[in-house]
A and B are shown apart, each in its own frame.
Chain A
Amino acid sequence: MAPLVSVEKLTYSYPEGREDSSPTVRNVSFQLDAGEVVLLLGESGCGKSTVLRALNGLVPHFYGGTFAGRVRVAEMDTRSSRPRDLARVVGLVFQDPESQSVMTTVEREIAFGLENAGTPVASIGRLVEESLVALGLSHLRRATLSTLSGGELQKVALAAVLATQPQLLLLDEPTSQLDPVGAEELLSALRRLSEDTGTTIVLAEHRVDRCLHMAGRVLFMDSGDLVLDTTPSAFASWASTMHPEFLPPVTRLFAPGHRLPLTVRDARLAMNDGTERFAEPQWRNPDPVSDSNPASSTHYASHRANDSSADRGTLSVRRLSVGYPPDPPLLDDIDLELHTGRIVALLGENGCGKSTLICHFNGLRQPMAGSVAINGRLVSTMSVAEAARSCAILGQNPTDYFVHETLSRELDYSLEMHTQPGPARQYLREAIIHDLELSELLDRNPRDLSGGERTRAALALLACAHPPFLVLDEPTRGLDPTAKSALADLLARWAETGMGILVVTHDIEFAARCAHRVILLGDGGILADGPVEQVLDGSLFFSTQINRLLRHALPGVLRAEQVIIRDRETESAA
């Protein structure tokens, strides 16, 4: 039987001026059979999205550029079949769900692909309904898309593609904005779909811990080359020495060289298999952030240290109610305090009001009741720009912060707003460029940067104001493990200089790595607020893999770096 997908020696370059004109994908070949679930991994910019676009024909039909090799899907050659023709068999969910919505309401968005395919009207209603139910969107069926949260929009995008029942489903980071429960449910639904209907799924993801176990195959790309095409177990062995950052935390816990567990369940079985191969786990370092990279020596850190305005302070939220009148509040009667020098992670279900809440910290939204004060001064008495000097907010889309042609010009624009001309401004500029590793990017258009670079660039613009508080909304969205790790280190360094940081995230592993404290929102209020090891320990979903594995042996443990599990076999062999 012919494979569903056949990619032969695919080499592709985007047209000059769009991106780097060197090939984005080089000499890539692979085949996929019906029912396979394939995980496509690699760092940001390695060509994953381009491969997905090539599989549905957008490359080269829509983007142009130089295309060599051949891609065949369901016996259709993508060079001669247009994406709209391939749409009958291929469904693609883009990285940014916001930019792919066409209609105005949820159910019409889901019906759009079915209408295009000429599905009989009588069937469309049924298929729309099934997709809504499958993704838990029934309550949003008549909601307008512009009012949905990022996670909800991501589910709608997926529902819209699932409804068309494609033979090949291409997903570009489908869980990047979903809460842990939503992500788990989505991936389970995908696995069921593949098993039940034989749908082939290609999943490009950075959250390996969520999906490595469900894949039957892993493709790993590096700088446009396909460097590995193997099983998840073989990938784990390879990555444990080559790219450990791409492994789930529970896999990193075990020494390389043997068959590595991919899930918490596998790890538990490995530890309890009766052979006593592994010694009892022991604490390596119980402090969640103390083993981050050292902070004190950075330029920006010393600049902040010399600045008296970056002194200790408090952001107080008193009896705050937030929402959209005349509806009842999304969050009601919230009391919390943020302190400088600490990193706080704000967690909660999609659509629970996290992003709405933080908009009140610099006055972007007015509270329904209650108040927010920074160092005793009410935010409601300041302009947003003024409040932003005390509490800078990095929204979900860093691109919104860029209004100039080059990053260098952006930095100057920010510095002009916040500092007087002179050597101090120049020193701050250099310090920020050095600390955020931007020197290579200064002459580039910030919109053309990769996800991680864009986040760093936007953070640099906010850093110019020397805010005592910094709030980041989903900063890890679209970041590869390396960029995520760099961001965690950066935040730890800045916290040590006295900055108070609040990170809104669905990435529990990231929260466990960099936060001192966790606030869990839900049911219109605060469900839990306390030290990271206390809130995340024992939680059902809002917890790390390591905690789920070792919570009974080592209560409070969250990260692989905190634990040592000795492999007796390896030790004795050595």
Chain B
Amino acid sequence: MRGQRHIQSHRLSFRAGMAARRPAVVTAYTMFLVTAALVITNPLFLVCILCACLLTLASDGRLRAAAAYVRVAIYAGITVLIINPLFSSGGIHPLLAAQLGPFHLRITWEGIAFGAGQALHLITLILAFATLTLILDQDYQLAMLSRLSARSALVVSLATRLLPVLSRDAARISDAQRSRGAELDRGRWRDRAIARGPLLAGLLTQSLERGTDVAASMESRGYGLPGRTTWRRRLRWKTTDIAVAALAGGGFICLIVGGVSRNLGFAYFPVIANPMETFTTPSSIALLAFVFVPAVWSLTWRR
């Protein structure tokens, strides 16, 4: 066979930033971000977690890959922001009150703030999951989960791969349609959406076919047999890995402490609480350190 050849760097699987750490460390930190995004409602904390997610994604050059998640998060956030105040009529500072047939509409400043807080919460949560999906090594996820349950691993593995694979398929199908002469990028967003409508059917069919093919391939290659082993290039635990794992562990402890002492929540009703009130407690400052230090530090890591 032909000898060694040059390989272009874009084809290599080397990762930078947080993704360059051991998979267990990456799992610990990204899971910490997801858990924090789930349990914390204080908007200042949420903004900090959001920033940490973006820094972590940037450390591995994955911001562009996260663009689809960001779009989904913003659309979902705007929807929550618009709808929530209509149904959350608590609060003592009314902005608008009206009788619409049998419905009494009451919009308050507190309701609007609650909607904004919920939107921020949703956006942070989506971005935290995006960080987990994009930064954590997918092959590691499969290996890790297959130890617990082969079937669950298959489902989770296919699901986490779905978005990147779908986005690649979508790009290929879009290119094919453009090559066929379809104008997908002309006009306003409504025209573009209409032009892209037919692609959706093709994309869905293709992703279903792909899912079936991958499942057939896994089955015929022995996936699910008892006694599975896991091979990967041996990576040494470095001081940095241990430090990040410790920071993530510390973060989990802070979440537990904060949860017990009710420092992580935030009240919008009857009046909007002061977000700085719980933000400056020692456990909150420690939590912020656990959120930010690995994210900022990861910007300096190269494999």
| A139, B186: Cα distance in complex, Å | 42
- B63 CB-CB contact with A under 8 Å: no
Q: Given A84-B224, A404-B198, A119–B229 Cβ distance below 8 Å?
A: yes
As a 0/1 sequence over residues 15 to 46 of chain B, the CB contacts with chain A under 8 angstroms (1 = contact) are 00000000000000000000000000000000
A selection of 20 A-B contacts at a CB cut-off of 8 Å is A62-B216, A85-B225, A87-B221, A99-B217, A102-B142, A115-B143, A124-B231, A144-B11, A147-B11, A148-B11, A164-B222, A326-B9, A327-B10, A384-B178, A388-B179, A401-B177, A414-B180, A414-B181, A447-B205, A465-B180
A residues 86-134 near B (Cβ < 8 Å) are 86-88, 90, 92, 94, 96, 99-105, 107-108, 111-121, 124-125, 128, 133-134
| A400, B173: Cα distance in complex, Å | 5
As a 0/1 sequence over residues 41 to 65 of chain A, the CB contacts with chain B under 8 angstroms (1 = contact) are 0000000000000001110011000
- B223 CB-CB contact with A under 8 Å: yes
Q: How far is the CB of A508 from chain B (nearest CB, A)?
A: 18
Q: Given A143-B7, A395-B179, A383–B172 Cβ distance below 8 Å?
A: no
- B98 CB-CB contact with A under 8 Å: no
What residue of chain A has the Cβ atom nearest to residue B224's Cβ? A84
4 additional A-B pairs beyond A102-B217, A108-B139, A364-B178, beta carbons within 8 Å, are A102-B142, A133-B1, A384-B179, A400-B172
Which of chain A's residues have a CB closer than 8 A to the CB of B179? 362, 364, 384, 388, 392-395, 401, 462
| A56, B220: Cα distance in complex, Å | 7
Q: Which of B85-93, B206-214, B280-288 contacts A (4 or more CB under 8 A)?
A: B206-214
- B191 CB-CB contact with A under 8 Å: no
- A146 CB-CB contact with B under 8 Å: yes
State whether B229 touches A124 (Cβ < 8 A). Answer: yes
State whether A84 touches B7 (Cβ < 8 A). Answer: no
What residue of chain A has the Cβ atom nearest to residue B215's Cβ? A62
As a 0/1 sequence over residues 151 to 169 of chain A, the CB contacts with chain B under 8 angstroms (1 = contact) are 0000000001100100000
What residue of chain B has the Cβ atom nearest to residue A92's Cβ? B220
Q: How far is the CB of A84 from chain B (nearest CB, A)?
A: 5
As a 0/1 sequence over residues 165 to 187 of chain B, the CB contacts with chain A under 8 angstroms (1 = contact) are 00010001101111111111110
State whether A96 touches B139 (Cβ < 8 A). Answer: no
| A62, B181: Cα distance in complex, Å | 38
State whether B175 touches A364 (Cβ < 8 A). Answer: yes
| A466, B243: Cα distance in complex, Å | 63
State whether A100 touches B217 (Cβ < 8 A). Answer: yes
State whether A383 touches B213 (Cβ < 8 A). Answer: no
| A110, B139: Cα distance in complex, Å | 12
> In the complex, which of the residues A100, A140, A385 contacts B183, with contact meaning CB atoms closer than 8 Å?
A385
Q: How far is the CB of B183 from chain A (nearest CB, A)?
A: 5
State whether A392 touches B216 (Cβ < 8 A). Answer: no
Which of chain B's residues have a CB closer than 8 A to the CB of A135? 1
| A413, B182: Cα distance in complex, Å | 9
- B190 CB-CB contact with A under 8 Å: no
- A427 CB-CB contact with B under 8 Å: no
| A181, B139: Cα distance in complex, Å | 32
Q: Residues of B within 8 Å of A, CB-based: how many?
A: 62
- B218 CB-CB contact with A under 8 Å: yes
Which of chain A's residues have a CB closer than 8 A to the CB of B6? 139
Q: How far is the CB of A555 from chain B (nearest CB, A)?
A: 29
State whether A143 touches B178 (Cβ < 8 A). Answer: no
Which of chain B's residues have a CB closer than 8 A to the CB of A383? 178, 183, 185-186
State whether A104 touches B139 (Cβ < 8 A). Answer: yes
| A82, B186: Cα distance in complex, Å | 51
- A83 CB-CB contact with B under 8 Å: yes
Leading 3 A-B pairs by shortest Cβ distance: A136-B1, A87-B222, A99-B213
By CB atoms of chain B within 10 A, which of A57, A85, A118 has the most?
A118
Q: How far is the CB of B185 from chain A (nearest CB, A)?
A: 7
| A270, B60: Cα distance in complex, Å | 63
A residues 322-336 near B (Cβ < 8 Å) are 323-324, 326-328, 330
| A565, B183: Cα distance in complex, Å | 55
| A237, B250: Cα distance in complex, Å | 78
State whether A462 touches B10 (Cβ < 8 A). Answer: no
Which of chain B's residues have a CB closer than 8 A to the CB of A139? 4-7
Q: How far is the CB of B230 from chain A (nearest CB, A)?
A: 6
State whether B225 touches A87 (Cβ < 8 A). Answer: yes
> In the complex, which of the residues B5, B139, B217 contacts A105, with contact meaning CB atoms closer than 8 Å?
B139
- B12 CB-CB contact with A under 8 Å: yes
> In the complex, which of the residues A96, A105, A413 contacts B198, with contact meaning CB atoms closer than 8 Å?
A413
Which of chain A's residues have a CB closer than 8 A to the CB of B230? 115, 121
Q: Given A136-B2, A403-B202, A385–B139 Cβ distance below 8 Å?
A: no
As a 0/1 sequence over residues 211 to 240 of chain A, the CB contacts with chain B under 8 angstroms (1 = contact) are 000000000000000000000000000000
- A461 CB-CB contact with B under 8 Å: yes
- B48 CB-CB contact with A under 8 Å: no
What residue of chain B has the Cβ atom nearest to residue A86's Cβ? B220
State whether A418 touches B181 (Cβ < 8 A). Answer: yes
State whether B181 touches A388 (Cβ < 8 A). Answer: yes
| A522, B185: Cα distance in complex, Å | 35
| A124, B216: Cα distance in complex, Å | 23
A residues 248-289 near B (Cβ < 8 Å) are none
- A302 CB-CB contact with B under 8 Å: no
Which of chain A's residues have a CB closer than 8 A to the CB of B1? 133-136, 185, 189
- A298 CB-CB contact with B under 8 Å: no
Which of chain B's residues have a CB closer than 8 A to the CB of A362? 178-179
| A135, B1: Cα distance in complex, Å | 6
> In the complex, which of the residues A86, A113, A323, A385 contacts B182, with contact meaning CB atoms closer than 8 Å?
A385
Q: How far is the CB of A358 from chain B (nearest CB, A)?
A: 10
| A399, B206: Cα distance in complex, Å | 9
Q: Given A118-B229, A404-B198, A395–B175 Cβ distance below 8 Å?
A: yes
- A138 CB-CB contact with B under 8 Å: yes
- A486 CB-CB contact with B under 8 Å: no
A residues 410-467 near B (Cβ < 8 Å) are 413-414, 417-418, 447, 461-462, 464-465
- A243 CB-CB contact with B under 8 Å: no
Which of chain A's residues have a CB closer than 8 A to the CB of B225? 84-85, 87-88, 116-118
Which of chain A's residues have a CB closer than 8 A to the CB of B183? 383, 385, 417
Which of chain A's residues have a CB closer than 8 A to the CB of B233? 107
- B138 CB-CB contact with A under 8 Å: yes
State whether B221 touches A112 (Cβ < 8 A). Answer: yes
What residue of chain B has the Cβ atom nearest to residue A62's Cβ? B216
| A86, B38: Cα distance in complex, Å | 44
By CB atoms of chain B within 10 A, which of A104, A144, A323, A326 has the most?
A104
State whether A402 touches B178 (Cβ < 8 A). Answer: no
State whether A143 touches B13 (Cβ < 8 A). Answer: yes
- A377 CB-CB contact with B under 8 Å: no
Q: Given A108-B139, A142-B12, A142-B13, A385–B178 Cβ distance below 8 Å?
A: yes
